[in-house]
Structures are given as structure tokens and as C-alpha cells.
Amino acid sequence: TDFQSSKSLILFAGLLAGLVLLVLSVFLLRRIDGMFAEIGLQNVRVEAANTGLESALEELKSLQQKLIEREKLSTLGRLTATVSHELRNPLAAVRNSLFVIKRLAGQAPDLLEFVDRADRNVGRCDNIISDLLEYTRSRELEKQPLDLRQRHRIVANDLHGGPELTDPMRQIERE
């Protein structure tokens, strides 16, 4: 009977140790599972921070590119102002000379036609300079009507030396 009671006691102690080990294992597994959950949460936080940093980097690159473009436009504006000033001085001299020639020519229609053509082309050059200056400034565009027939006659006269060129609008209407 002592033997049986010892055997029962050993069995009870073994069961109790097994139960303690089981409870301890469950506790440790829950603790390990909590640690993995915390690691997963930290990974999510790191990924969110990484996404935020990537977004901030892209925004920084975009702002840097805009700054470079603005600096280029600023440099272009200064260069355009300098070139415009240097071109307008000789154009003013040409325009003044044409005015004097026109006064001295009197009523010589052949000479006046050439003077007028030269004066229009000086005006075109001046308009190109103004357009370059306007390009470097920001402003709203304004639509204006344009008479294409009249513009064509002026350009054809300037290019070919006379109004004998046919009107292309009539050619288009015939076709």
C-alpha cells in the first residue's frame, strides 16, 4: 500500500508538473504571440513612415524642379531684356533714317513703297522683340479678331515686292 500510495503520489506529481508545464506553455505562447503582433504593428508603422518619406521626397524633387524652371525663366528674362535693349537701339536708328528718307523722297511712289516695306519690317522686328519680352512675363491672353486676307496681302507684298500675288483665299474658295 505504501508502494501504491507512492505510485499515486508520483503520478499526481507528474500530472501536476505536466499541468504546470501546460499552463506555462500557454502563457509563453500567448506572450510570444503578443510579441509577434507588436512586431507586425511596428512593421506597419515603419511602412507608413517609409511611404510618408517617399511622398515627401517626391514633393521635394517636384519643388526642386519647379525652382530650377523658375530660375531658367528668370535668366531668360534678364537675357531677353538685354538683347531687346541692344536690338531696339539700331532699329530706332533705322526707323529714324526711314522717316528722313521718306521726307526727302517726296512723292516718288516707287521709293515710298520700299520705305514703307522697310518700315513695316522694322515694326515686325520690334513686335518680335516685344513678344520675347512678353514671353518672360506672365499675363492673361486676349483674343483679337484677325483679317487673314489683309494679313496675307501685307506678307505677300513684303516677301515678293508687290501686290500682284493672287489672293490664296480665293484659290481655296474655288477648290
What are 76-100's pLDDT values in tens digits? 888 888 889 899 999 999 999 998 8
Which of 7-11, 119-123, 138-142 holds the top average pLDDT? 119-123
SS3 47: helix
Cell of 158: 513684303
Measured over all CA atoms, what is the biggest interatomic distance in the chain, rounded to whole angstroms? 153
Q: How far is CA 90 from the centre of its chain?
A: 36
Position 148, amino acid: L
Task: Give the pLDDT band (50/70/90) at residue 175.
Answer: very low
Residue 175 burial (10 A CB sphere; 0-12, 13-18, 19+): exposed
Residue with cell 526707323: 95
Residue 21 or residue 110, greater confidence: 21
Whether pLDDT at 20 is above 50: yes
Task: Give the pLDDT band (50/70/90) at residue 116.
Answer: confident
Each residue of 135-149: pLDDT tens digit? 777 666 678 888 888
Task: Give the pLDDT band (50/70/90) at residue 75.
Answer: confident
